[in-house]
Chain A
Amino acid sequence: MIGYVLRRVGGAVPLVLGVATIVFFVMNLAPGDPSSLYAGPGVSPQALEEVRQNMGLDAPVHVRYIRWMGAMAQGDFGHSLARGQPVRDVIRDLLPNTLLLSGTALALAFLAGILIGVLQAVRHNTWIDSSLSGASLFFYSIPSFWLALMLILVFSLYARNVWGWPVHFPASGMTSVDHAWMTPWEQVKDRAMHLVLPATSLALVLAGGIARYTRTSMLEVIHQDYIRTARAKGLPEWRVIAGHALRNALIPVVTVFGLYLPLLFSGTVFVETVFAWPGMGKLVVDAIGQRDYPVVMAGALVFAVMVVVGNLIADVLYSVVDPRIRHG
């Protein structure tokens, strides 16, 4: 098992290098560079050339590539042009926020998706099944940023200002302004409240797809001979489903886990922007606007690594769920 994981990590290295290369050339072969932005408007060509030299932009592209890769290999992601901070520090500060948001969304999505899918399969061809199918398809079809805006509208704005609900959720940020003055318990609650809407808007979109996969897979499993065996033992139906059918039905759903990670991370880019969530997604969007090349490149790389690691986790999960792979 450990040998397998190490082999997979080894295999991922060239993949990440390839991604880094593509990211670098896409950014650097695009017309324009950040120098004019940082030199300010109306500077002389000489001054601009000086800025370019200072930023190392005068060197030929292949030299810059080698320099960049060399620096990356030493863990040096460069300096953020817009924030005046090492990129590494920026990522260190913001990556945990993104992991918190996407981790919560992923957990919610799988929990809800699997529950709904199982319920649909067990109540196959009833009104419960068809209405949940409709709902799944709806959430599966809409983009998460639109859903995010609608959630803000309903559960933040209308809930507070129009309907005066006792419970409403903050529309932006990770914490309230008075966060620093709260008791530790209130701080946890404050963070949780801020997490609800962004995590929900990410999760619902994913949950729709997961529910559809789970339903199909579960329906297939329910008709297997070993389910009949489980019934013949005299087990109550819920134990047949939970103890025998579910784990078999989850094997294909693990594939979805790997497939949905890119979807999840691209979702965070939008959702973090909509909710002003200080994470990697918002960082990259801001950096693109500011032509903060080092941040954009490092950010893209971090997302790539997260997808690769996620797929690695999916492969390990496979062997956890299916003993035939473990011993195969």
Chain B
Amino acid sequence: MVSKRKHVKENSTIQRFNDSTNEQLMINISKEGYYGRFGGAFIPEMLHPNVEEIRQTYVEMIKDESFQKEFRHLLRDYVGRPTPLFLAQRLSEKYQTNIYLKREDLCHTGAHKVNNTIGQILLAKRLGKKRIIAETGAGQHGVATATVCALMGLPCVVYMGAVDIERQQPNVSRMKMLGAEVRPATSGSQTLKDATNEAIRDWINNPEDTHYIIGSVVGPHPYPDMVARFQSVISEEIKWQLEAATGKPNPDLIIACVGGGSNAAGAFYHYLNEEEVRLIAVEASGLGVDSGESAATSVLGTEGIIHGSRTLLMQTPDGQIIEPYSISAGLDYPGIGPMHAHLIQSGRAEAVHITDQEALNAAYDLSKREGIIPALETAHAFAALDKIEFKKSDVIVVNLSGRGDKDLNTYIKHLG
């Protein structure tokens, strides 16, 4: 009986995901792609036709039944969705509350990033594109892009900061084995920001045959919205999984780390209008918010334009973008997705800031307590548990966005 019920639920998540993408958006986004005052498409004319083509087709495409069928099929049989929602008992005991882990680390390739790359590779095919480019920070999006390119037989070039190539070697090797070319970005801070600049330049140079798979809810409209929609499968599943586990679809809190913010966008998406659910966006504060070595965009950032969207970003009074710092390559970004800038500024989401050391400690603790080695990015979300007050009766969902194999070198080095 139990297993039968589970089976029904699994089918229903797929069905509901389909329904939800046919509904109106869960958050008000204007026709021009603004969340409140953030968003838009500040792009050079050279990119106008490409971005316009995507803007005009993506909603229709996502609604299209044949797209949905292929997308759902790949998410289930290739990615391994739905991912489990796991009650972490020992962690719950530690914090004297009820903590569920959304296991995106169990997705094929080891992180949530593949939800988006599956969606975008299907889009690229529909647009008739013959070549794929991507940027990557921690390498998870690069691996996820290289993976779907291998699956679809398309050539793939991944731009990665030279510094990140050093600190995320295992993912570099994975991308190469998957047949992708990894091109180092050697300008600026040689991290995610610069990799994104290089990818944009590549796209400007190859506008007709190339699709740019952006890995986060950043970039010009419609990317933030499109990526959020592809990632929204995370909160779609949390809803029915939590209802099955606790009788209620809504948790009291959802915690997710935010660099650009794609896993948080996915985990928050179907709760955006459920005001009683507290949304916690965890940013990397590096050596400390005021240390000068930080990536805490929501406090250090001011309004401006980065990578084609109007959002909060770390910059000088002269408008030069500041190079951020975090031990985690995936959170080492001077901006934040426009949706999150809006959620945080409007008070809908709360920002929490976690240092390198706090994240490392949380990673060691989760590994020993639950037998799960999280990605360094994800470890920031777990460290936030120490910073938030909650009740014993609260139900908390932590989005376990990725696994930590890629970070073993860093973990071992700091273990002493």
A is bound by B = no
Q: Residues on B close to A: CB < 8 A? A: none
